[in-house]
């Protein structure tokens, strides 16, 4: 096993111990709600999305409801999540495609999910793992990108390349949870502007520590 794989194993082991309840922060009851919430979460906090979906999910309960939604009304319902026009367009179009191509059921395959408007690999990975328990890859959001770069696990900026690097280092059984572990750590310790390196459980194996605390 090469040094980077050992480092990745150590990172997973320590973060699991530190954040034993790490899980997706979005609220949902089924894969359709998870899909909608994840699309809404782009450039928006999970807290805000949960506030919006608490009411949204009471009015939109089925794929039909989304597919037949009035665009103007739907835009207003999700307005506070930002980029609401584009998100509304994608969610409605995704629901229509689910109706026409997938018999009204959110698909359980990566290639099918990424064919939906507004769905790239990050969203698809989240829906597959947290919605269906299927491990296909590693969801790369801003926290995952920042921490994987700081930890020296990747040198890339492109999410798809970062995902490939991480998949080569992290054991497949941990792919689904790895994102949530990094997200928890990013929020609690490894912040974008001022990481709390002295309090970090990874400080002795993080190549970026001296950059912030020389």
**Would you tell me how many other CB atoms lie within 10 Å of the CB of residue 213?**
12
Where on the phi/psi map is residue 103: left (φ > 0), alpha (ψ -120 to 50), or beta? left
Q: Which is the catalytic residue, given 46, 64, 65, 141?
A: 141
What is the Cα gyration radius of the chain?
A: 18
What number of other Cβ atoms are within 10 A of residue 68's Cβ?
13
Among 87, 97, 122, 174, the active-site one is 122
Of residues 103, 136, 129, the one with CA closest to residue 35:
129
141 has catalytic annotation? yes
Q: How many Å apart are CA 212 and CA 200, to the nearest integer? A: 12
Active site residues: 122, 141
């Amino acid at each position: 096993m090469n040094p980077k794989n050992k480092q990745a194993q150590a990172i997973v082991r320590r973060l699991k111990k530190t954040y034993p309840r790490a899980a997706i922060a979005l609220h949902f009851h089924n894969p359709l709600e998870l899909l909608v919430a994840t699309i809404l979460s782009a450039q928006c906090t999970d807290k805000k999305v949960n506030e919006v979906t608490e009411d949204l999910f009471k009015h939109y309960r089925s794929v039909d409801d989304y597919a037949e939604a009035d665009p103007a009304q739907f835009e207003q319902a999700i307005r506070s999540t930002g980029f609401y026009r584009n998100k509304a367009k994608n969610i409605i179009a995704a629901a229509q495609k689910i109706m026409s191509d997938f018999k009204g059921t959110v698909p359980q395959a990566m290639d099918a999910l990424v064919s939906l408007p507004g769905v790239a690999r990050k969203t698809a990975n989240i829906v597959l793992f947290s919605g269906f328990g299927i491990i296909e890859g590693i969801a790369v959001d801003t926290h995952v990108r920042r921490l994987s770069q700081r930890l020296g696990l990747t040198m890339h900026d492109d999410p798809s390349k970062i995902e490939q690097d991480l998949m080569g280092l992290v054991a497949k059984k941990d792919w689904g949870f790895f994102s949530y572990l990094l997200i928890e750590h990013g929020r609690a310790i490894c912040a974008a502007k001022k990481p709390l390196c002295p309090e970090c459980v990874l400080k002795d194996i993080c190549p970026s520590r001296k950059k912030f605390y020389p």
